[in-house]
Structure 1
Amino acid sequence: MPPTLASLVRASALKLTVLAGGDRLDAPVRWVHTSELDDPTPYLEGGELLLTTGLKLGSDAEALREYVYRLADAEVVGLGFGVGLGHDTVPEALVSAAEERGLPLLRVPRPTPFIAISKAVSAAIAADQYKAVTTSLEAQRELTRAALAPDGTGALLSRLAAHLNGWAALYDASGAVIAASPDWAGRRAARLGGEIERLRARPAPASAAVAGPGGTDDRVEIQSLGTGRRPRGFLAVGTAERLDTSDRYVVQAAVALLTLSLEQSRTLQDAERRFGAALLRMLLAGECDHARTVAGRRYGTLLDRPVRLLAVEPAQRQDRAERDDPQAALALLADRVEAAAARAAEPLLASLDGPRLTVLAADGGAVLAAGTELVGAAEELAAGLSAAVPADAVPAAGDQAERALAVAQRRGRALVEHGEVGAGSILPLLGDEAVRAFAEGLLRPLYDHDATSRGDLVRSLRAWLSRHGQWDAAAADLGVHRHTLRYRMRRVEEILGRSLDDPDVRMELWLALKSGG
């Protein structure tokens, strides 16, 4: 423990007497400073025990009161007043002012030199620092031994929590809790998701001190883990009291050990990802048998079950803020899908290639459920999901996911499943600006004719097409003779330079009319 006023008073060799503030003697003494100035506060940092003989203080009660108040405002922990030089006794006004402000006031007898008090404090501080170093070194050895155990991460967190008399939790790169000690801390750590998200935006290593989750009295500190731009994980520790110097050394040792473990496994993880991406490319290329041979038993029964393909890209939004980083959102989604697969013990194949994340997973599993849920919550992403297919039909699933993704982008939706593409009407797909421009250009000559001449060609064309070219029915809808309608359709052909006998022409004109052209 650092030295306190109480420990100095208990030192019999110093012969100090408490005159005021006896209930505040437990405050730690950061240093001892001697000054005879009537205002020494410009030279103080707070936390000092100030020693003075009062040579320049005089006996004016108001001046003594102001002196004490200045010291209290400067947050000194106590005032030691040496008697026998400037004052035979401690002025009563000084004692009264110290009682008013709750400032500990110690009488220093003439035989006790101020240097003896300074030496006592220096020795206590040095002893406390030495103890902190030795304690933290031993704790670091314990953490290192724990990290080498079979369950290294769990053992390390257990030792760290025990040393801090609190709790510790480890998060993966996606912010999901993967280990906690004690066991009850997992629920508490899971409520820090928002703080983890804010820390993720800062390059590793970074840290944050936050209030305990859910209204608890914990003091929580979170550290990002990793040496690159993107954190590889996060460590959170919760304690009832503020961490002292020794505790911080131990936490930093845990951060170093966990970072080393994550960085060592990164090469293996990257190799696993590249292997999975290569297998996925084989399946998309129709090389299912080759993929099965290469995969062996690594992915369990994944290739023997119905699978679905999820294709994700940055959403084509015109209102995207400059701070948005779609590529980072894709990388985060990949991390979270992999974390969901690890938690559910489900295999998956994933490929993050430029602005496209492709995930292949078992139909009906936790991986696809987590992936679609996460896409739905991410405004900057759009996704298409294929139907369930056997592994040898993955190329078809890729086409399905591609078409569903295109529909999602066009409609401004987060996720579209393949089954939705063929359902409903094709007309909502005609809302694209390019389609409308085509329709407007195709029908513009007819609109120009109707604006300057008689005939109402656009309305007549719409009625005739809606009646599938039935002259009598369309003429009845318009309230004109069928010969009049025939004349108008010939004028349409003349103006557009196209034959209405061509089904492709009729289709284009009908879609142009329906698109609002």
Structure 2
Amino acid sequence: MLTVADVLALPVLVAGAPRVRAGEDRLDAPVRWVHVSEQADVTGLLGGGELLLSTGLGLTRAGFDADGYVGALVEAGAAGLVVELGEVLPALPAPLLRAARAGGLPLVELHRAIRFVEVTERVHARLLDAQHERLRFAERVHSTFAALGTSGASTREVLERAAGLLDAPVVLEDLAHRAVDHVPGRSGTVEVLRDWARRSRREGGGGPGGGPEGWTAVAVGRPGERWGRLVLPGRGAGQDAGLVLERAAEVLTVLRLLAAGGPGEVTADRAHGDLVSDLLRARPVDEPALRQRLRALGLPVRGGFAAGAVHTPGGADRPAVAAALRAAGVVGITGVLGPDVVGVLLVGAAERSLVRLAAELPASATLGVTAPGERLSGTGEGFAEARHVAQVAAAAPGRAPGRVRRAADLGVRGLLWRLRDDARVAEFAEGQLAPLLDAPDGGRADLELLAHLLASGGSMTRLAGLLHLSRPAAYGRVQRLAGRLGRDLDDPETRLALHLALLVRGQGPGGPGAAPPNRDHGE
């Protein structure tokens, strides 16, 4: 970025013996162009960032309005005004000086004549060189992070590349402003992470220069599911910081959602997986390129696109999913979304085609899908939803194979799955069931009885049938259970709270029906 101070330091300007008469604190203003102008009225002629050169001819005309002239320059975003003193204008008019100082406009006088054409040539050459350098830098950034996004790089590798490109420290923080990883650069860890949480909150979430320290920060994660920020803590990187951090954040988002394919994949499978990976971070502007890539893979680009996900308990089985697609006659490509989930881009798939696909999958697999849409670039968010649906449906008790699941089918289990990492949810379940969990056997028998009671809707007749007991015997067990809990099990809100607590425990790492954690060992 070329500034007013940079232009004044050029030999061709130094030869004019420049003297700054106003706006000394604005010499870091960026210069987008240099323009020679003798007009006293520049309203509507400037686009912002211009440094004007003048011999003062327009400033000597009768009726010259210094306040209006400077006001128009400031309003247009001019970088500054350079006036050559001489026969036309021996000295700067006092009204012009006052207006420039009041408006904060850099005003420079030249005491020796110079060739304005040489100034414009030198400055424009510098500007064009800077633009070309920025284009080359942008290409280097793109190629660097494109390679990382398809190679299964670690978070640290992404941060190291970003810090190397910027020659500055880069920090990854979570939403609680905790620095979860960083590359300190030349500053050192101590200085970079000094009082991090407080400084980060003070800086806010804006672009370059938004806070007192001028940090640059970009959000990490898909829209609506942000999980962190990538931060350059300091000033001076300008537009380059935003470019690098945005590309690095995209790669980190993909790495969190997508597990890289194995080295033994054939070329076509790898190309499919790469496309699925790119769809996760696709933007609307990428639509033409994505369609061209899909077309190049031999797939149609008409009929709508839907995101699907197949959950398999034993691990992501991409070959089995691809085989099921072929057997069902469904057009689509696959890519691994996680350790136990395969993503499926479905092209023009009707409902009956999805039913055939679900039937062709292994009995242990669970298929989740989203509604079809016209935009290929819009399937990125769909993959996250489909994966969520498949994982929740797979964990639900009584799962029937060969069915197509959607978000509307999940009910409260879907909500609890999204909240499963929230400590408050686990605390709630623990508090509701604590009297039972304190039993020597971890409350296994009582939890099973409670689950049967809730499944029967509180009906003693149905409960007795489930337990193969008489109604009085079943009633006696429920009364003893209520006593241990210290709760009224006939109260609907009590049953709801206990039901939610059981669902939370059932969606833990062991899946439905898992043994209760051993509380003595903090598991």
TM-score (norm 2): 0.47
Structure ID, larger Rg: 1
